[in-house]
Homo-oligomer: A and B are copies of this chain.
Amino acid sequence: MTAATARLRELLESFDGLDLPPLSEELVCALGLPEGLPAELAISEVAELTGVSAHTLRYYERIGLVGVGRDPGGRRVYDRDALGRVVFITRLRCSDMPIRDITRYLALVGQGEASVPARLTLMLAHRESIVRRLQELQAALAVIDYKIVTYGGDCAP
């Protein structure tokens, strides 16, 4: 265990009330990239793989979210790392993390191990916002279900 991870464990333990579920086999598997992919991909291939449009991929690069190399002709070349970042970004985006925060997170990653506690703080804050959103949505669902069982009555709240 490095000094950084030791510090982190300490930090992690200081957050009480954090009730992490066990990692399922499926989840761990899903987190890996598939084997047998070419080491380098064109933008259109990344778009097809990830479901993120080429326009958006270029946009992500412009705003500093993913660094992408170029081939001799000036075209983007996504290596395994860049592909990983794109997938990671989509995961955070689909939980509504603002791009601003993703940018910050990725910048921290770029700063190496020393930034791990800061990353963790960012993630825990985001976790909180997801949990809040889940609760809001569940409450909203109860309201909608009420509306439905009362056959879409009038619009008293």
Contact = CB atoms under 8 A, between A and B. Distances in A.
A8 B147 CA distance: 13
Given A8-B152, A88-B155, A157-B33, A141 B127 contact: yes
19 contacts: A18-B136, A18-B138, A18-B148, A19-B139, A21-B145, A22-B141, A23-B142, A23-B145, A24-B142, A31-B143, A84-B156, A94-B136, A95-B141, A109-B155, A116-B152, A123-B144, A130-B141, A133-B137, A134-B141
B130 A87 contact: no
Nearest to A102: B155
Contacts of A58: none
A42 interface: no
Interface in A89-143: 91-92, 94-95, 105-106, 108-109, 116, 119-120, 122-124, 126-127, 130-131, 133-143
Interface residues of A, number: 63
Interface of A: 5, 8-9, 12, 16, 18-24, 27-28, 31-33, 84-85, 87-88, 91-92, 94-95, 105-106, 108-109, 116, 119-120, 122-124, 126-127, 130-131, 133-149, 151-157
A101 B44 CA distance: 35
Nearest to A11: B151
A134 B135 contact: no
Given A33-B157, A88-B156, 18 more contacts: A8-B151, A20-B145, A22-B142, A23-B142, A27-B143, A28-B146, A32-B156, A87-B157, A92-B140, A95-B141, A116-B152, A120-B148, A122-B152, A127-B145, A130-B140, A133-B137, A134-B137, A134-B138
